[in-house]
Amino acid sequence: MKVSYNWLQDYFDKTLPVPEKLGELLTIHAFEVESIEKKGDDSVLDVKVLPDRSHDCLSHKGIALEVGFLANIPVKPKMRDIGSISLPESNVLKIEVENSKICKRFSALVMENIEVKDSPDWLVNRLEAIGQRSINNIVDATNYVMFAFGQPLHAYDRDLLKETDGGWKILVREAREGESLTALDNKEYKLDIGELAIVDGNSDLILGIAGVKGGKACEISKCTKHIILEAANFDPILIRKTSKRIGLRTDASVRFENEITPELTTTALKAVSDLIFKIAGTDETQVEGLVDAYPQPAALYKLGFSLSEVQGLIGIDISYNEVEDILVRRGYEFKFIEPSDLLVKLSPKFIGVPYKLGASILRDAPRFFDCSSLVSYLYAQVGISIPRMTVDQLVFGENISKDDLDPGDLVFSNSGVGKIHKESIEFMPGVQFPEGVDHVGIYMGDGIVIHTSRPAGVVVEENLNDSSSFDNPVGYRRFPALQETRYVISVPAERLDLRLKEDFIEEIGRVYGYKDLKSRPIKPFFEKVNIDSSDFYSNVLRKFFAEHGYSEVITYAFQKKGDVEIQNPLASDKAFLRSSLSDGLGEAFALNARNADFLGLVEVKIFEIGNVFTNEGEHLAVAFAGGGVEEIKRKISELNIALDFKTENKVSEANFSLAIKTLPQPSADQKVSVSDIATAEDSVRFKPFSQYPVVLRDIAVFVPEADDHNEIIEVVKSESDGLLMNYRLFDTFTKDFPEGKKTSYAYRLVFQSFEKTLSDDEINPIMERVTGILNSMSGWQVR
């Protein structure tokens, strides 16, 4: 999300910290700021908003609230809450939404007598700063409001829709077979059945692909006089699927697929109409009316947590004052309550509310309840989240006896009226409760229970012992959170990420600052440490191979042929998973054989341990190349590891998984130690190697017994202009000379340049100088 610094400043009276400071503040407490770019007198922050905050923070307002929160600078009240539009219903526009599950809200505003022209400079600059092209004042206004509030908008030229009986109609329906749209980009997009189309209700012309792209047919032009402004809320999954299928990701589709609150539409319409009055208004400009199809308004969500829950999850000694300071700064509406007291006070208020089986907490409460939705709803009001279903409430709660019942505890029965559940469904699915349960009520103290049932028809207050619903009690439960003072937060509508207490604890933790988090040691572990057989025996083999001069390679799992095919390969020669290690290891062997001299190796020996994929399944394989095949096989069998090596093209490979199955489970004290297999010192740093060919020279020198033969290499080094890359001592023998014993040391010298291919012209002079120097040393003799 590109964020304009100047735009953010609009939200505050006080001057914001400089962009770099702001970036740092956001990075440490909220989002990673990936870059800050200077653009004219503005700075643009590239803020990495992750999916959890894409509900509210793909907008300047969302970021501004966050900045105000973190920098502790108040947001201007009129920018925090601009209110929503309230207008008479339009007399000329009708909206019909076929399925309100996938289009929760469709709000539209009719504006008349506007003037389409270029946008004022300030608006052009704002949009350009965040990488948007200015089109005209109307389209720019809708874009501006989207980037300000996060609500996508669309403007239609009303006169290009079909007028019937002096009115216009927009229909939101699923696309039918063969329908397509010519979009604003002049491309044609075919719609699949079930995707959502915005349609002219009078002509059945497709006007747009809901939430993704608008059509050419009703495009705003210089001639446009009257407009219809759309602000809707579409289903995230449907929009995501459509946008993916047609391969079109737009600023609108990204916001919808991340889900935004339906509460936003009328706020955005208010903002956009205010702006249009300002930049496209004439003396005759007026808002004709609003249509708002919003059959099931979103319910307010409540969340609660206790201080000890914050302290326990984050591991900090945060105080009540610090928590409250954070809540106040963000402007959260919250209460600090005793849950059981409030529960007892609240519950009687719902006596008489009608019963509805399967009543939804989000949509029906508090107008309708069934037994468990009543309980779950009441607990939510005191900031305790419990499961929705009776059987899950029973499994979730702490078992108590009837004599221990306190106000707020739950009473369960098998009333025989509802469906009996014997197994938990949502909470820890599959926990058995053989007696079965179908009913729940909330205990008020003094033998009184409040509950609702189909026979009662409404929420009732009864004596527990006299209530026929509780003739057959099956359990009593308590939620320990009830005993502890709690904060209850009314979650702002746009914060769809705040749904669990953990979500809110994160909110506290990140603002408090993880930088002040002190590490706390973990307790000693007295259990048996898990030892993985595959890991253990792989290390046994690694150690074995290394001791026998083999180096380990890891080659690619992707091959051009194999048994298991990738549906979406990166390249056609990487379309399969390897069915054996042989191909990769064979290639590595050939590569290293070419470099053997450089490596100072007489013979290349390599091995690999890794998973391969065949028609029989996935297994761990081990393979090696080079060296004495029979000797290796014999020695491995002496380790009692039953590997059935097959040799082909110099590579010997075996199924290691099969062998591991027959081996005993290793115990902790058998562990292969790191020092056995890790050879690199902590101080080792990678050194680049040249891609140019090497030039080889052998040199053999007789050295008197008393002298240090290492001097040979020192001389070569000092004379070689940095071209000596490696060397290997390949032969020594001792011989008696008249002047005493001397040893012949024969070295193979490897010369190589990082800049070019070396020739004899460069190496011969070096060798001549080396020979001269060594021969001049007393008793030394180059052979």
Partner 1 sequence: MTLVYNLIMSVEKPIGHIHPLNQIIAQTSDIFSELGFGVVSGPEIETEYYNFDALNIPAHHPARDMWDTFWIKDELPHLLSGSLKGKSPMSSVSETGDRWDGARPEMLRKLLRTHTSPVQVRYAESNQPPIRIIVPGKAFRHEATDATHEAQFFQLEGLMIEEDVSLANLKYVVEYYFEKLFGAKVATRFRPSFFPFVEPGVEIDMSCFKCGGKGGDCSTCRGTGWIEIMGAGMVHPKVLMAMKVDPRKYKGFAFGGGIDRLAMLKFGIPDVRMFYDGDLRFINQF
Please report, as residue ranges, which positions from 477 to 506 form the binding site for partner 1 (by CB under 8 A). 496, 499-500, 502-503, 505-506
Least Å from the CB of residue 776 to partner 1 = 25
User: Does residue 432 touch partner 1 according to CB under 8 A?
Assistant: no
Residue with tokens 């469906």: 419
User: Does residue 50 touch partner 1 according to CB under 8 A?
Assistant: yes
Residues numbered 362 to 381 that lie near partner 1 (CB under 8 A) are: 362, 376
User: Does residue 707 touch partner 1 according to CB under 8 A?
Assistant: no
Sheet with 398-400, edge to edge strand ranges: 398-400, 473-478, 410-413, 439-445, 448-452, 459-463
Task: Find the angle CA(228)-CA(166)-CA(283) to the nearest 5 degrees.
Answer: 55
Largest CA distance in the chain: 127
CB-wise, 7 or 589, nearer to partner 1? 589
> Smallest Cα–Cα separation from 436: which of 418, 410, 448, 461?
418
User: Does residue 584 touch partner 1 according to CB under 8 A?
Assistant: yes
What are 135-141's contacts with CB under 8 Å, separation 24+?
A: 135/220, 136/220, 136/222, 137/276, 137/279, 137/280, 138/114, 138/220, 138/224, 138/227, 138/276, 138/280, 139/220, 141/272, 141/275, 141/276, 141/279, 141/280
**Of 692, 733, 737, 754, the one binding partner 1 by CB under 8 A:** 754
SS3 track for 327-378: HHHCCCEEEEECHHHHHHHHHHHHCCCEECCCCCCCCCCCCCECHHHHHHHH
**Using CA atoms, how far apart are residues 128 and 110, in angstroms rounded to an integer?**
28
User: Does residue 728 touch partner 1 according to CB under 8 A?
Assistant: yes
User: Does residue 700 touch partner 1 according to CB under 8 A?
Assistant: no
**Could you tell me how many residues make up the chain?**
783
User: Does residue 419 touch partner 1 according to CB under 8 A?
Assistant: no
- How many residues belong to the site for partner 1 (CB under 8 A)? 135
**Of 600, 647, 658, 781, the one binding partner 1 by CB under 8 A:** 600
Residues numbered 614 to 633 that lie near partner 1 (CB under 8 A) are: 615-618
Sign of the CA dihedral running 308, 312, 317, 322: negative
Stretch in the footprint of partner 1 (CB under 8 A) among 140-148, 188-196, 287-295, 559-567: 559-567
Least Å from the CB of residue 447 to partner 1 = 29
Least Å from the CB of residue 158 to partner 1 = 34
200: left (phi over 0), alpha (psi -120 to 50) or beta: beta
CB-wise, 360 or 468, nearer to partner 1? 360
Q: How far is CA 56 from CA 49, 53, 128, 257, 274, in A?
A: 10, 6, 22, 13, 22
CB-wise, 42 or 370, nearer to partner 1? 370
Cis ω for the linkage preceding 366 (within 30 of 0): yes
User: Does residue 671 touch partner 1 according to CB under 8 A?
Assistant: yes
CB-wise, 717 or 769, nearer to partner 1? 717
Least Å from the CB of residue 709 to partner 1 = 14
**Of 193, 328, 351, 566, the one binding partner 1 by CB under 8 A:** 566
Least Å from the CB of residue 616 to partner 1 = 7
Residue with tokens 């909110």: 507
Stretch in the footprint of partner 1 (CB under 8 A) among 81-89, 140-148, 344-352, 557-565: 557-565
> Smallest Cα–Cα separation from 268: which of 354, 136, 155?
155
Stretch in the footprint of partner 1 (CB under 8 A) among 92-100, 563-571, 630-638, 756-764: 563-571
Residues numbered 93 to 132 that lie near partner 1 (CB under 8 A) are: none
What is the bridge-based pairing of β-strands 42-48 and 196-200? unpaired
Helix (H) or strand (E) holding 147: helix 137-149
Least Å from the CB of residue 24 to partner 1 = 11
Least Å from the CB of residue 611 to partner 1 = 5
Structural tokens at position 111: 């504006």
Least Å from the CB of residue 468 to partner 1 = 28
Least Å from the CB of residue 360 to partner 1 = 7
Least Å from the CB of residue 658 to partner 1 = 14
CB-wise, 281 or 562, nearer to partner 1? 562
Least Å from the CB of residue 354 to partner 1 = 19
Do 200 and 208 touch, CB atoms closer than 8 A?
no
**Using CA atoms, how far apart are residues 6 and 43, in angstroms rounded to an integer?**
7
User: Does residue 514 touch partner 1 according to CB under 8 A?
Assistant: yes
Residues numbered 224 to 283 that lie near partner 1 (CB under 8 A) are: 236-237, 240-241, 257-258
Residues numbered 518 to 547 that lie near partner 1 (CB under 8 A) are: 518-525, 527, 529-532, 534-535, 539, 542, 545-547
Structural tokens at position 586: 């064979």
Least Å from the CB of residue 78 to partner 1 = 29
Residue window 389-408: x/- pattern of binding to partner 1, with contact defined by CB under 8 A: -------x------------
* Per-position DSSP letters for 222-277, written without gaps between them: TT---EEEEEEEE-HHHHHHHHHHHT---HHHHHHHT---GGGHHHHHHHHHHHHH
Amino acid identity, position 655: N
Amino acid identity, position 529: V
Least Å from the CB of residue 511 to partner 1 = 9
User: Does residue 678 touch partner 1 according to CB under 8 A?
Assistant: yes
User: Does residue 426 touch partner 1 according to CB under 8 A?
Assistant: yes
**Of 677, 700, 773, 777, the one binding partner 1 by CB under 8 A:** 677
**Using CA atoms, how far apart are residues 101 and 85, in angstroms rounded to an integer?**
24
User: Does residue 449 touch partner 1 according to CB under 8 A?
Assistant: no
**Using CA atoms, how far apart are residues 373 and 305, in angstroms rounded to an integer?**
21
